[in-house]
Amino acid sequence: MLKNRSIVSIDDVSQPELEDIFKTADEMSDHLKQGKPLKILDGRIMATFFFEPSTRTRLSFESAMNRLGGSVISVSEARSSSVAKGETLADTVRMAESYSDVIVIRHPMEGAAKLAARFSSKPIINAGDGSGQHPTQTIMDLYTIRKELGNINGKTVTMVGDLRYGRTVHSLLLALSNYDVEVNLISPEILKIPEYIISRLPKNFKVNVSADFDSAVEQSDVLYVTRIQKERFTDQNEYLSVIGSYSVTPETLEKMKEKSIIMHPLPRIDEIAPEVDLSPKAAYFKQASNGVPVRMALVSMILG
């Protein structure tokens, strides 16, 4: 179903397709545990363009492709490609499609992946477009909730931090609106979720904008924490006014439900104290590890 398709937005993946990805990711995870080589993408090439910094997304896509028997060619920063000479994204993509079978792109401009998909006959995967979306992160976030809590339906999810520029939150909120969940949104006033995201949610979707942190923590099955992203602010005084607004500490853990988890797309700065890492509730490193089987599933399905 996903064969030869671009994934630019989370809307590009239907509910049945998500279920297929989760099932295939479970199979990939079993293969990884057994150390069995998978040569299903032998001879296929992935091109990765990361015009913004990345650790998890880039390495997990590249690891996934290598583990599937394929290979990777990559540009890790704009200044090492002809973009530095003024080449357009459209021309860059036109070249990459002749060198590879699938193109993964991270770009600081919202809408960059959509633009790239217009100029490419090969599938484009959005690995994060500015403050837009991060659809493959969302797929692994949903996979993690399902794996850690058994189900997504019936859960209360609280998102905390930078909801304005946070692309992971934008795509996760849109994806969650297809499930029977309740969502609390907590942020400083200047980092509230954009109206264009709220306006896309179904009318009957239970979302509490400006929820109270302490009571939301007590109700939540999932506490989804995000970093306040210094690099998105044009006014550094605005950034200084909101850093350290929310912090998850061992005291926060005591208020949480017994069977609840803390997630974070990472990297984190100071919004989750290192002592929290030892708690069984800390699911963020497992969440990042799930990037490999989930991206193996996605890439293998796109490349057929």
Interface positions with ligand CP (CB under 6 A): 54-57, 128, 134, 137, 265-267
Minimum CB distance to ligand CP smaller for 6 or for 57? 57
Which lies closer to ligand CP via its Cβ, residue 28 or residue 140? 140
**Residue 267, preceding bond cis, omega within 30 degrees?**
yes
Instruction: Fill in the DSSP letter of residue 42.
Output: T
Cα separation, 72 vs 102, in Å, equals 10
Helix (H, G, I), strand (E, B) or coil at 240: helix
The answer to whether 11 and 174 have CB atoms below 8 angstroms apart is: yes
**In whole angstroms, how close is the CB of 249 to ligand CP at the nearest point?**
22
Find the shortest distance in angstroms from Cβ 25 to ligand CP: 17
CB of 56 to ligand CP, least distance (A): 4
Which residue lies nearer to ligand CP by CB, 127 or 211? 127
Nearest to 134 by CA among 89, 90, 96, 166: 166
User: Smallest distance, Å, CB 203 to ligand CP?
Assistant: 31
Closest approach of ligand CP to the CB of residue 127, in Å: 7
Q: How far is the CB of 202 from ligand CP (least distance, A)?
A: 27
Identity of the residue, 211 or 282, whose beta carbon is nearer to ligand CP in the bound complex: 282
**Residue keyed to tokens 């998890």:** 56
Which residue is listed with tokens 């926060």?
Answer: 252
Q: Least CB distance from residue 34 to ligand CP, whole Å?
A: 27
Nearest to 96 by CA among 108, 82, 111: 82
Other C-beta atoms closer than 10 Å to the C-beta of 258 total 6
The nearer residue to ligand CP, 122 or 134, going by C-beta atoms, is 134
Q: For residues 128 and 135, which CB has a smaller minimum distance to ligand CP in the complex?
A: 128
In sequence order, the 6+-apart residues with CB closer than 8 A to the CB of 303 are 3, 41, 44, 70, 101, 102, 123
Q: Please state, in angstroms and rounded to a whole number, the distance separating the CA atoms of residues 241 and 258.
A: 34
Q: How far is CA 76 from CA 99, 191, 231, in A?
A: 16, 29, 18
Q: What is residue 161's DSSP assignment?
A: S
Give the Cα separation of 92 and 86 in Å (integer).
Answer: 10
Q: How far is the CB of 215 from ligand CP (least distance, A)?
A: 28
Pick the closer one to ligand CP by CB: 267 or 304: 267
Joined together, the tokens standing for residue 87 give: 């080449």
**Quick one: 172 or 211, whose CB is closer to ligand CP?**
172
Rg value, the chain, Cα: 19
